[in-house]
Structure 1
Amino acid sequence: MLSWLIRRLGGSDRPRIRGIPIELRNTREDIADADVIERLDEALALIAQYQPHRFWHLARDIRGIRIERFPTRGAFLPAEDTVLTELTFLARRDISAAPVASSILHEGVHARVHAFRTRVLGGRADEASMAREERLCRRAELAFGRSLPHELGAPVIERALASLTLADAEVAPVIDWREARARQDEVDQGRGG
């Protein structure tokens, strides 16, 4: 199935993994498309198996998942209703698929909150509500980690618990995305691409 999916990545139809449209923007020659697609499938499978209600919400609340180089593990892009998953994070093999799944689940909660906020409340979030939203996402990660077998869930639980103790400005920092992208570009240039 993955070879068929990878062939379709260059076509006009958006390929799907577990029913979710996928867009791959691989700018790294050292990372194989098949590897990141396989890891994404593994991560989505964990969510579908251990938190099927979260998977159902994710599939319903977003238009798709984009994979590309980005200055953070993941993001929710509200203008596109898309979850972005970072290319090199997906390519890592020194971690299990559980932290990847947790990141996707986290961004899916942002998508759900965004939909509620815009459709029901009709507004944007302030800094205090962004910190509350971030903690809601971390609590979802914690619940996901606790639903996994111990060896998979332990790193997810540890990261979620640590972030839940942070102050508002630390749990939901204001990020200068231009500076973050510039730093990422410096790292990529230093490694030869």
Structure 2
Amino acid sequence: MTSWLQRWFGDPEPLRLHGIPVDLRNSRPDIADADVLARLDEALGLIAQYQPLRFRHLVRDVRGIRVERFPTRGAFLPAEEVVLTELTFLARRDISAAPVASSILHEGVHARVHAFRSHVLGGRNDAESMAREERLCRRAELTFGQSLPPALGAPVIERAAASLALADEEVAPTIDWQEARARQDDVDRGRNG
């Protein structure tokens, strides 16, 4: 809903963290915006500090980051050139900011590949190239995890290494997004019911 201030003065400047526009769409009253934004800020700070080249690519390759409820921890939305980071994933405090940063970095690699594929290859994409792309993203995660202090990087390294060991059809599975959304909605209804 547009407020009278937005109608009168126009859209406000978007929220920016580390120079990246952020669109927070919080549908969960039990999750504080400030907590989610603090975790996102921390995650972006880790990428900027430990992988500055990847961070510059992220800034250049995406129009922004959207935070909302979604059936996976992250996604790159090519039509909008936006990295989506899942709301409840950012709200978790049983993990450090490193896995969050790793997920954002991963989606940033998808953004970079999308830009290359669109401009150089004419948008060609198939199952084999998707598996190759996913492995490229996982290798970037692995490198990121290795650049972090050992205690912070360990869970990132473990997850990336496990993913890289998967077969092509497992590393880049076909996802039924309607089914995934329905399962997520069932979980949310159970939590609220």
**TM value normalised by structure 1:** 0.94
Which residue of structure 2 aligns with residue 88 of structure 1? Answer: 88
Which residue of structure 2 aligns with residue 156 of structure 1? Answer: 156
Deviation, 1:15, is 1.0
Which residue of structure 1 aligns with residue 186 of structure 2? Answer: 186
**TM value normalised by structure 2:** 0.94
| Runs of 5+ consecutive residues of structure 2 not aligned to the other structure | 1-10
Equivalences, count: 183
Paired residue type of 2:161: L
Cα distance in structure 2, aligned partners of 1:184 and 1:76:
19
Higher Rg of the two aligned structures: 2
Question: Given the alignment of the two structures, is residue 17 of structure 1 paired with residue 36 of structure 2, yes or no?
Answer: no
Which residue of structure 2 aligns with residue 42 of structure 1? Answer: 42
User: Does the residue aligned with 1:191 lie in a helix, a strand or coil?
Assistant: helix
User: Does the residue aligned with 2:30 lie in a helix, a strand or coil?
Assistant: coil
User: Does the residue aligned with 2:160 lie in a helix, a strand or coil?
Assistant: helix
> Could you list the per-position Cα deviations for residues 150-175 of structure 1 after superposition, in whole angstroms to 9, with x for gaps in the alignment?
01000000000000010111000000
Percent identity (aligned): 79
Question: Given the alignment of the two structures, is residue 70 of structure 1 paired with residue 77 of structure 2, yes or no?
Answer: no
Cα distance in structure 1, aligned partners of 2:15 and 2:28:
20
| Runs of 5+ consecutive residues of structure 1 not aligned to the other structure | 1-10
Paired residue type of 1:40: L
> Could you list the per-position Cα deviations for residues 121-157 of structure 1 after superposition, in whole angstroms to 9, with x for gaps in the alignment?
1123100000000000000000000000001000000
User: Does the residue aligned with 2:192 lie in a helix, a strand or coil?
Assistant: coil
Paired residue type of 2:19: G
Cα distance in structure 2, aligned partners of 1:60 and 1:179:
33
Which residue of structure 2 aligns with residue 170 of structure 1? Answer: 170
Cα distance in structure 1, aligned partners of 2:135 and 2:174:
15
Kindly report the root-mean-square deviation, in angstroms, between the aligned alpha carbons of the 2 structures.
0.8
Deviating runs (4+, > 2 A) in structure 1?
none
Deviation, 1:14, is 1.2
Cα distance in structure 2, aligned partners of 1:79 and 1:18:
23
User: Does the residue aligned with 2:173 lie in a helix, a strand or coil?
Assistant: coil
